[in-house]
Amino acid sequence: MEIIKNTLSVGAEKPFVLLHISDIHLSESDSNDSPERKAFAEARKRGFSFAPDAVEFVKEYVKKTKYPIINTGDMLDFITPENLRIAKDLLESTDMMFVAGNHEYWHCPNNRFHYDDVFSTYERKNETLSFVSEQLGTDVRFFYREICGVNLVGIDDSDYCIDAEIFEKLKNVEAQEKPILLFMH
C-alpha cells in the first residue's frame, strides 16, 4: 500500500493527523452462503484481491501510529456475514469514523443475500444502511467528531443525494461556526 501525505490548513487549534481510506471492497463469503453467493464472491475477489492485505495493513499502521481513521465507504463490496464480520473487527480494533459508499447497500443481480432481511432494492437503501449500521455497531449514514477545534463530518451521499435528515444534522454541526472537514464517498 502506498501512503500519500497531504497537509491542509483548516484553522485547527493545533496540528493533527488523520488516516483516510476508501474502497477496500471486502468480497468474502463463508460456509453459510449459497453456492451462487460463493461463486459471486470468488469472481469479485479477483478484482479486489488486495482487500484482505489492505485491512491488515490498516490495522498494523494504526497500531503503530494511533491515528484516527476516516473511511469514506465501500469497505464492503456487498453484504455477507463474513464481510460484515471483517468490517466490524476493523472498526472495533481501530479509532475509525465510517460513512457508507454505494456498496454498503449494493444489490447484487441474480444473487440472493445470505440474510433474508437485507433489503435488495435501491429504493429501500436507507433500510439496508440501517441494517448495516446495526450489524457494524455504528451509524454509516452520518458521523461527527471534533478534533482540535475542527468538526469532522461524514455524510451518506451514496446515491449523490443528501436526504433531509442528514442535511439537518449537517446544519446543526455548521451552526457551531467551527471549521468543518466534510467526508463523503
Q: Tell me whether residue 97 is exposed, middle or buried, using C-beta atoms within 10 angstroms of its C-beta: 0 to 12, 13 to 18, 19 or more.
A: buried
Distances in whole angstroms, Cα of residue 70 to Cα of each of 2, 14, 96, 149: 16, 19, 6, 17
Q: What is the pTM assigned to this prediction?
A: 0.89
Rounded to a whole number of angstroms, the CA Rg of the chain reads 17
User: How far, rounded to the nearest angstrom, does the alpha carbon of residue 185 sit from its chain's CA centroid?
Assistant: 9
Show Cβ contacts of residue 75 under 8 Å, excluding neighbours closer than 6 positions. 24, 25, 26, 87, 90, 98, 101, 104
The confidence score (pLDDT) of residue 171 equals 97
Q: Which residues are paired to 182 by β-bridges?
A: 153
Give CA–CA dist 174/24, Å, rounded.
30
Residue by residue, pLDDT tens for the chain (185 residues) are: 789 999 999 999 999 999 999 999 999 988 888 888 888 889 999 999 999 999 999 999 999 999 999 999 999 998 888 999 999 999 999 999 999 998 888 755 444 444 444 444 456 778 888 999 999 999 999 999 999 999 999 999 877 778 899 999 999 999 999 999 999 99
pLDDT value at residue 2: 84
